[in-house]
Structure 1
Amino acid sequence: MSQSHALSDDQVGQELKKMTAFIKQEAMEKAREIEIKADEEFSIEKSKLVRQETSSIDTTYEKKFKQAQMSQQITRSTVANKTRLKVLSARQELLDGIFEAAEKKLGQATKDKGKYQGILKNLMLEGFYALNEGKVLVRGRKADYDVLKKAIGDAIKEYKDKVGKDIQVEIDGSNPLPEGSAGGVSIVGAGGKIDINNTFEERLKLLQDSALPSIRTTLFGKNENRKFYD
């Protein structure tokens, strides 16, 4: 038969200390686990926030960089266009100056009457060939009528020699060229319906249109951006 023994106060105190120590140890371990878990979650959250902020900074920087690039391109394009326009304007002024100078010298061709007579003959012949009619009118400056009559005789003879046909040519005294004209002639056919303007001013305009590309090339060199040529 077993006999139960009651625990003494010392034994009870020791057991309480053991239980208290065990509970305290458990609490410390649990606290440590919580601390470690909290640190891990803090690190994860911190890394997440760092990534988010880094991504935001990268996005903002990329946006600002693109804006800066665009602004720089616009500035470069604006400067390039302004420079190009200034160059084109300067070139055009030079070309205009060349033809203005040429226009001022047109009248000098009429001073040598013999040479001028030959020029008038050739200008008329060009009109005769183009019209191919038996009768035409020729308009000139009143001051040129004497030399014009001689040139008409030369032109009629050469036309008959080249074409084998006669042509009747009269000076249109009722419609002379303006005295301010530099010279040349106007050949009228088809009963006044066709007027071939072979005045010096008109010939210079034609020359300006036809010779301008080659003049540009001579003065400024070949245009590397141009792909097609007439």
Structure 2
Amino acid sequence: MSQSHALSDDQVAGELRKMTAFIRQEALEKGREIQLKADEEFAIEKSKLVRQETAAIDTQYEKKFKQAAMSQQITRSTLANRTRLRVLGARQELLDELFQEARGQISGIAAKDAKKYQEVLQALILEGLYALNESNVDVRARKKDKDAVKKAIGEVEKEFKNAVGREVKVNLDEEEPLPDDNAGGVSIIGGNGKIEINNTFEERLRLLEIDALPAVRETLFGKNTNRRFYD
């Protein structure tokens, strides 16, 4: 004969409480596990986002820094170029004034000292004769220098013959004189009119200006001026 072991209501209620407590405990532990996992994943994701944002900020800062540095460099270069141009302009203006003053001084040579001027004309004509080495040449001069040039020609023909050993005929071209506003000097024509040696004061000063400009710059503005400002 079998014996029935039926649970009383109190026992059933007790078992239910145990099961409920067990399930609740399991749920709590699972919840804590999920929370820890979530916190861990959040921390990882947060760290990742922070690194990404930091890298983006660093990249942006570096880009802006480079842009600022480039802008500053351009500004400095622009200011330096403007300053350089001002300095160059001022120096060129001073040099132009210097040579303009020289032009004014040479223009007054003939009026101040006729004898000295004739000697200069002789030297200029003789230089042309040596360069051309011809037996017949023409000379052009200002109309107001006509008498001085004729006297110079007479002396030059003698000097050339003594130096070279043969005669030369120098003709004053009165049909095509040099302009009256010319500073002075002469132009020697040879090669049947095809060769001209410009020995006017203005041309000689122009050549002197080209040749002497580096030395004049150094004298006025100091050494290394040409390298710094004119190369």
TM-score (normalizing by structure 1) = 0.91
- Aligned partner of residue 159 in structure 1, secondary structure: helix
Q: How far apart, CA to CA, are the structure 1 residues paired with 2:226 and 2:153? A: 48
- Aligned partner of residue 93 in structure 2, secondary structure: helix
Q: How far apart, CA to CA, are the structure 2 residues paired with 1:176 and 1:127? A: 17
> Does residue 1:17 correspond to 2:17, yes or no?
yes
1:127-138 aligned at under 5 Å gives the runs 127-138=128-139
- Aligned partner of residue 219 in structure 2, secondary structure: helix
Question: Residue type matched to 2:183 in 1?
Answer: A
Unmatched 5+ stretches in structure 1 = none
Residue 70 of structure 2: aligned partner? 70
Contact 2:157–2:167, Cα closer than 8 Å, also in 1: yes
1:193-230 deviations in Å (ceiling 9; x for gaps): 11111111111111111111111111112336739xxx
Question: Residue type matched to 2:85 in 1?
Answer: L
Question: Residue type matched to 2:90 in 1?
Answer: A
> Does residue 1:50 correspond to 2:50, yes or no?
yes
More moved, 116-125 vs 2-11: 2-11
Question: Residue type matched to 1:36 in 2?
Answer: L
Question: Residue type matched to 2:143 in 1?
Answer: K
> Does residue 1:123 correspond to 2:106, yes or no?
no
Contact 2:135–2:167, Cα closer than 8 Å, also in 1: yes
Q: How far apart, CA to CA, are the structure 2 residues paired with 1:224 and 1:56? A: 49
CA drift at 1:98: 0.5
- Aligned partner of residue 227 in structure 2, secondary structure: coil
Question: Residue type matched to 1:192 in 2?
Answer: G
- Aligned partner of residue 197 in structure 1, secondary structure: strand
Q: How far apart, CA to CA, are the structure 2 residues paired with 1:186 and 1:197? A: 5
Unmatched 5+ stretches in structure 2 = none
What value does the CA root-mean-square deviation take over the aligned residues? 1.9
Q: How far apart, CA to CA, are the structure 2 residues paired with 1:19 and 1:144? A: 139
Question: Residue type matched to 2:66 in 1?
Answer: K
CA drift at 1:4: 5.0
Contact 2:217–2:225, Cα closer than 8 Å, also in 1: no
TM-score (normalizing by structure 2) = 0.91
Moved over 4 A (4+): 1-4
- Aligned partner of residue 81 in structure 2, secondary structure: helix
Question: Residue type matched to 1:17 in 2?
Answer: R
- Aligned partner of residue 198 in structure 2, secondary structure: strand
- Report the count of equivalent residues: 227
Residue 196 of structure 1: aligned partner? 197
1:1-230 aligned at under 5 Å gives the runs 3=3, 5-110=5-110, 111-223=112-224, 226=227
1:51-97 deviations in Å (ceiling 9; x for gaps): 22222222222222111111111111111111100000000100100
More moved, 138-147 vs 72-81: 138-147
CA drift at 1:17: 2.0
